[in-house]
Every structure is written in structure tokens, then in C-alpha cells.
Chains A and B, each alone.
Chain A
Amino acid sequence: MTTRKNQAIALAAPITIWAVHFIALYGLISASCGPRMLMPIAVMQMTTFIVTVVALIGAGLPLIRVPVRHQGDDLATAIRVCALISVIAIIANALSFPFFSSCGG
């Protein structure tokens, strides 16, 4: 693995994790709030919590260890900003979940 390759991965991974997280939450809601009611809402919220923690760890990694090739490496900046936005967006996805006691409004 060259540093360049690591950088490409570090750039794409956090926001991809955001996408997976989003799909997972959408799926969980559909499972819990759809007519089939495949899981109770409390279970859904618990699962959401776990999924979110895992996603945050994954998306946050590049914040802690950015592969840098040289001083003033613009790609390293891009990686950090990307990861930061992804982390915030993952939190935002899940933020209101704990406050629902039922599916109806």
C-alpha cells in the first residue's frame, strides 16, 4: 500500500460510512415503523445506537491518523475535513432517534 492509496481510501471511507449508516437507519425505521412492525421501537433505537457508535469510530479514524505525503499536502486537508463532516453528519442522522416513543407523530 502506497501512501497515495491510503490517502484515496481515507478520503472516500468516512463519507461512504455515512452512506451505509444512513441506509441502515432508513432500513431500521422501515422495519420498525412499516406495517410489518418487524421490531419494537426500543430495539430499533438500541440498534441505531450501536450502529452509530460503530460508524463514528470508522468515520473518525482518519481524523486521528491522516496519511500525509508532504508539508502542506492539500489531500491531507481534504481527508480531515471530509472525515469531520462525515462524523457530524452521522451524529445528525441519529440525533433525534432517542426522542421518539412511537412511530406516529
Chain B
Amino acid sequence: MSATAEHQTYTGALKGEPNKSFEEIWAQPRGIRSLTSVSHRVVGKRFIVTGFIFFLIAGLLALGVRTQLIVPGNTFLDLQTYNQFFTMHGTLMMFLFAIPILEGFGVYFLPLMLGARDLIFPRLGAFGYFCYLFGGIIVLSSFLFDAAPESGWFMYTPLTTKEYTPGLSADFWLIGITFAEIASVTAAVELIAAILCARAPGMSLTKMPIFGWYILITAFMIAIGFPPLIIGSVLLESQRLLGLPFFDAAFGGDPLLWQHLFWIFGHPEVYIIFLPAAGFVSTMLPTFVGKPIFGYGFLVAAIVTMGFISFGLWAHHMYATGISPVSLSLFSAASTMVAIPTGIQIFCFIATLAQGRPRFTTPMLFVFGFLFIFVLGGLTGVMLASVPFNFQVHDTYFVVAHLHYVLIGGMVFPLFGAFYYWVPHFTGRMMSETLGKWVFWLMFIGFNTTFFLMHVTGLRGMPRRVATYPEDIGWDRLNMLSSIGSYILAAGIALFVIDFFRHLRSGEPAGRNPWGAGTMEWFYPTVAPGYNFRAIPPVRSREPLWDQPELNEDPAAVGGVLRAYPDHRRETVGCDPLSGEPLHIARLPHPTWVPLFTAFAIAVMFGSLLVSAYWVTAGAFVAMMAGFTAWAWEPSDSGVTRDAGLGYRLPVDKADRRSHTYIAVIGTLLILGALYFSLVFGVLYLWNTFPDFAARIARPDPLMAGGAIAAAVLMAVGAMAAKWLSMRDRFLTAALTGVVTAALGAATAGLLYLAIADIDRNATALGATAWAIVAYVGVLMFIAIWWALFNALRKLTGRTRPGQHVADFNFSPFAKGVALFAATTGALLLAAQGALP
């Protein structure tokens, strides 16, 4: 038991707004100050709108590609522009449209469905959005400088190295996309914590709408799947900027290492795109069938196993690179196995349909379109998973056809269904059913015309990524029809946009729960107020609006927790991740400029890196650190308990292993660990593949490496001691221990540096990668030191009151994680000393 109970008499919130009513506390800032908004409703909408704009831009690029290919020998686009168009098309679609827009739906709808007033880390959401926006702008701005990336969306080396791509185009890609990926991983942590830790009272994991499971597993996949590409991009960018030879075969580097890192990300990416879209489908189906989803348990199992198995097939994109047949058999096995969870999901969808008579609304049409197209894409996928067939059609239009069947069928059709389904929630009005059916049929017919024929074009041998082709080898008519199909598809999308603007003014008002759905986002009449729930009602069913009649009465009067707001703060209820029982009151931040400021500082940092203005980079770094510090500095509200209604008396911001902040630290460690192991993978891979080069490297210093391990262990002990002391309110000694912990962290990093000081990082790729690992651990240590000193400073300046332990409680696992990475690095260096021949 902590000291919490003794300090209940504190007046609660330092940042409360005692003169404001509940509605005023939650009011959205207007005008220019709307940029300070942190509400998930605002941030989610921004993600969706921005993502859709990127979709339109990427679509226009695709039309350019199709127009170029409409007749043989066409000169509509010159060769370089053509390369830029398909590269930017793939890049924008995959990185700046698909993932962010799906995350936007998660950000917007999860709190509503789960019974929370906001996403659990509102500022992080806003920060992630701005990172995404600025990253996207960096990538797009390359067109202005006539330096658009042109090496294909997977940026293979050596084509993308300085020698073969001298200008800035590859740098735009690497820096801009990495920046946007930071947004994706922050959103992932945020979604994990929000799903696990902020649900309505009584909503256990099995009472959670299936959409929650879909997004939860997607978020975990992003946390593990994006780091390999982030590492790959950072390595490639430092090869381009600093000349480190990571992928340079002349120095024992390997272009295939890039392919591994890229596809360890790239294949799961496809499932990261598919899963949330399947989540839309399983949310819409029950509504229109009027029955709960069939086989909830089966679906959960399918989602979880798919999340894992989809990581085991990356090398099926590398079948043609000469990987040993034994490994091919392993990857082929996983490629086949992933069909099981996919099949289970499709089966559950069809069984749900079979339970009742579905209403053929526009969203339902899109669901049918999804089933039809995605299943076809799955079939060609099975064909591609067979190694001999794969050799045959590798890099032909067959692959382009397959990937669009899976991506457009699996993601774009559900997405448009979701637009029609949820638009009333955003705007309070319905879109036209008549026009909607037109949109669907135009898209469906246009899509199949364009892409079905591409299978044939591919089987007739037409390679992808060629800007033109000769007459009379049997490709003309097929290409002509494909291009016409793409115009029909585009007409459908244009009609959607027109109808959207039309409905804003003259759409029918939607009222309350227009589709008769069972999930909680329809609890209020549209448009729901920004706080989502006046009081958060207990949930006893997976379809609460169907099974709990009291929820269909006046939503402002429905009984629940947190009706009173004694401290005049934004707050929501934090729950036990498994049972959904209320655990504590989570205080939420009010509007602030800090996320925008910090994201902007990072944008300047990356932008100046692009133009080699390193002084600006340094200045922006300082601004970024200042931003993060200001972010964390705000006074803590914890250490008190409050009546929450319905008989609950809950602590505020509890220091607990089940609280959102702790879970977020664990989630962050997961990401940091994935980054770390991507580097370790690189080291092991290079060491194993090029023994000659490994033999040339200087040996690390064993004494220093051993010392680093010892210092890392002591640092972890220090962090634990600081926590122990702090939990007992011994703040002075805790602060001093924190300072010692920071010093030990610095010592660890310094010793690791000394251990590898003799290794020449320019001479071999393996040596450079060893440096990269130590540099990475150094960055983590820097963060740990910063955090330890920050905690100490707050205690020494009297900002921590008795009973407030969250900061030290959460620092401890972080320090332990970082110490573990450091110690592992030390152990690897020791092994290199002894074991490397």
C-alpha cells in the first residue's frame, strides 16, 4: 500500500478551471487556437481528411501512369517523370494514405465505442498528427524541387545510394517517410494504451466490440513492424550523408540487408492495412444483418494469429534473390499458414450474413465488393506463394494486379463503406443512397476492368515499372482497356467527393443512431458532443445499444461514473485491462500549443538535415527537447482520491502496473526493442554472410565492454531504488538516487563507446553497424538520463507532493529496458572479442 490514502485532503487539480461548467471545460478552441486542440474527435478527423487528400493526389498520379500506358510508344510522360509518378503513387498510398487514415478511424471511434471521453494521451495524438502532416509535406515538396523519388516504393539499394541517385530525391523519401512513421508508432502506443486502459466500467476484453481487437493487434503490429524500416532508412540515409558503408558490397555490406529490413516491415504492412479494414466490415455487418457478429471467439483467435504469422513471410518478396531452398520452405510454410486466419475471418463474415436478411444499403454494397475482390486477390496470392509460379511472373503486371486486388479490395472498398456508414457521425447528415450506389458500381466496374486485365497482361510478360512498350506484341488492347477502366474508377471516386460536398448542405439530418447499430458510438444523437459521454455508463454487453434499454433514453441523463467534476478538469475513467473494472481517474490535458511546437521543431530538424544546414539542425534539436520538457513538466494531479459515482471511490492517476502511463512505457519499450533487434539482426546477418570482412575488424575492448555491463546493471538498480524511495515519499534521497542513476547511465554509454573506439566505422559494413548499435544505445541513454534528472529536478524544486509517485514508478521499467539493451550490447561485444574468428 502506498501513501495515497493518507493524502486525500489535497485540493485536487492545479490546472483545474473552477469557473467553467462541464461543457466549457470540454469546449473546442476556435479560430487559430483550434491548432491547440487535442481532442481525439478533432485529431481523428484531421487524420482522415489529410489521408484522403493524399489518396486523391496518389490517385491522380496513378491516372497519369495509366494515361501514359494507354497506347504503345506514348510520350505523355517522359521516362523520369514516369518513374517519379509510380514511385510517389506507391509511397503516398502505402505510407501517407492507408495507414494514417485507418489510424484516424481508430483515433476517432475507439474512445466512443469503448466508453472514454478522449483518447488516453490526447497530446500524443495531436503530436503524431502534426508529425504525419509535416512528413507528408516534406515528401510531397520534392516535386517542387524537381527531386521526387523515382526508385520505386521499396527504394532498393544500390539504386538508392549516392552513386546511382546523386540528387536529393532519395533523401526526401528517407527523411520524410521516417518522420511520418514516427507518427504511426506514436499513434500505435496511444491506441494500445487507450484500448487496454480506458474502457467503460464492466467492459471486459470479451465485451469489447470486435473493432477494438482489430485495432489493438494492428497497433502491436505497427509497434513491431515499423522499426525495421525506420532502422533501414536511418542506415541508408547515413550511408548517403556520412558515407558509412552499410549496404555497400565493396565494404562487406549487402543490398539484400536492405531488402530484408524493408520486407520485415513491408509484408506485415499489408496486414496492418487489412486488419482495421476488416474491423470496419465486422462493425458494419452486424448492423445491417441485425444480428451480432458470428464467431466472436474465432475472430479474436484469427486476428491474434494473423498478427503474428504475417511477420513470418517477408522473404516471399525475395524468392528471386537466391535465398537457400531450406529457408524458402520455411517462408513458404508461413505464407500458406496465414491463409487459415484469413479464411476464418471470411467464413465468420459469410456466416454472419447467413444469419439474417441483410439490408442492401450503400455501406453493405461496399462490404460485398470487399468480399468479392479480396477473395480473388487471395487466390492470386496463393498462386504467387508457389515458388515456381512466382519465378515466372516476378515483376510483371500479374503482381501489380494481385497487389491492387488485395489492397483496393481489402482496404479501399471497406473504407468507402465506412465513409458512408460513419459520415453522419462526423457531419450530422446522411449521404445520398442513390448516388452512393452509383459510386459503388462505377468503382466496382472500373476497378475490375483496370486490374483484372492486368493479370493477363502480366502473364503475357509485360514487366511492371516500364514507361512504354512496343506495338504488336499483344499488350496494346489490354492496356487501353485497363486505362479506360481506371477512368471509370476515378469517376466513381469523383462522384463520392461531389456527393460529400453536396450532403454537407442538403443531406438529410441523421438524428440518433441512423442505422440502428449496437455499438456505443451512436449513443448520442449526431453530432455527439466533444466529451462523448456526460457520465460514462456501465456496459454489460457487446452490443450495448441493443441489449441495454436504458442507454436509449436521454443520453445526458443516463447514469454512470464521473458525472461530478469536483476538480474542473477533463477526465475519464481508467480501467483494469482485463476485467474493465474502474481502476482510477485519468486526468486529461486541456488544449495546448506544445504538440504543434514540438512537431514543428522536429520538422525543421529533418528539413535542415536535407539541405545540410547543420546549425539549424542543432537549434531545432534544442527546441525539440524544450518542447518535450515543457510537455512533461506540467503539475501532477495524482495522490488524491475522489468519489466517481456508482459507489466507486477512485484514486487520481494511480501509479499502478495496469495504468495507461505504465502500459505506454511498456509499449514504447516494445518499439525501442524492435528498433534494437533490427540492428542486432543487421550485425548477425553481416557477420554470418561475410566472414572475410568480419575477420578484418579490430576487436572491441573486453574490459570496457564488461564495465559497461556492470554500469548498466547498477543503473537499473539505481532506478529501482529511486522508485522504492519515492514510493515512501522520501523525496530528497530519491532525487539524489536519481542523479546517481543518471551518472551511471552516462558511464554505461561512455564505456560502450570506449569499447568500440578502435573499430573503423568506414572500413566495413559490420564495423559501421556495430557503431550504429552503440550510437542507438547512446540515444536511449540520453533519454533515460534526461528523464532521471527531470524527475530529480521536480522533486528538488518542490513540484512533487507526497503521494505522487507516477513519474518514478514509470521511469523504473524504462531504465531497466534501456539497461537491458546496453548490457546485451556489451555481451555482444564480449562475444565478438572471444567468438569472432
Contact = CB atoms under 8 A, between A and B. Distances in A.
Given A4-B579, A74-B206, A75-B300, A89 B334 contact: yes
A29 interface: yes
B468 interface: no
Nearest to A76: B297
B351 to A, nearest CB: 14
Nearest to B335: A92
Nearest to B308: A15
A93 B297 contact: no
Interface stretch (B688-696, B767-775, B778-786): B688-696
A47 to B, nearest CB: 13
Interface stretch (B336-344, B359-367, B373-381, B739-747): B336-344
Interface stretch (B31-39, B98-106, B319-327, B646-654): B319-327
Contact of B302 (A25, A81, A92): A81
B330 A36 contact: no
A22 B316 CA distance: 15
B305 A15 contact: yes
Interface string B201-232: 00011100000000000000000000000000
B330 A22 contact: yes
A51 interface: no
B330 A30 contact: no
B435 interface: no
Residue from B301, B312, B330, B688 whose CB has the most chain A CB atoms within 10 Å: B301
Contacts of B308: 15-16, 18-19
B254 to A, nearest CB: 12
A85 interface: yes
A46 interface: no
Nearest to A92: B333
Nearest to B340: A85
A55 interface: no
A34 B323 CA distance: 10
Contacts of A5: 578
B372 interface: no
A63 to B, nearest CB: 12
B296 interface: yes
B831 to A, nearest CB: 14
B298 interface: yes
Interface residues of B, number: 36
B309 interface: yes
Interface in A6-33: 7-8, 11-12, 15-16, 18-19, 22, 25-26, 29-31, 33
Nearest to B677: A23
Contacts of A33: 324, 326-327
Contacts of B333: 89, 92-93, 95-96
A19 B644 CA distance: 43
A18 B304 CA distance: 12
A75 B205 contact: yes
Contacts of A56: none
Interface in B584-602: none
Contact of A34 (B312, B330, B689): B689
B340 A88 contact: yes
A22 B304 contact: no
B309 A36 contact: no
Interface in B269-326: 296-298, 300-302, 304-305, 308-309, 311-312, 324-326
B80 interface: no
Contacts of B305: 15, 82, 85-86, 89
Contacts of B205: 8, 75
Contacts of B330: 22, 25-26, 29, 93, 96
A88 to B, nearest CB: 7
A61 B464 CA distance: 47
A95 B330 CA distance: 9
A100 B304 contact: no
Contacts of A100: 325-326, 329
Interface of B: 204-206, 296-298, 300-302, 304-305, 308-309, 311-312, 324-327, 329-330, 333-334, 336-337, 340-341, 344, 578-579, 684-685, 688-691
Given A75-B206, A85-B340, 9 more contacts: A7-B578, A26-B327, A36-B688, A74-B297, A75-B205, A78-B297, A82-B300, A89-B333, A96-B330
8 contacts: A31-B688, A35-B689, A77-B301, A79-B301, A81-B298, A85-B301, A89-B340, A92-B336
Q: Which 6 A-B pairs have the closest CB atoms?
A: A77-B297, A81-B301, A74-B297, A78-B300, A96-B329, A105-B325
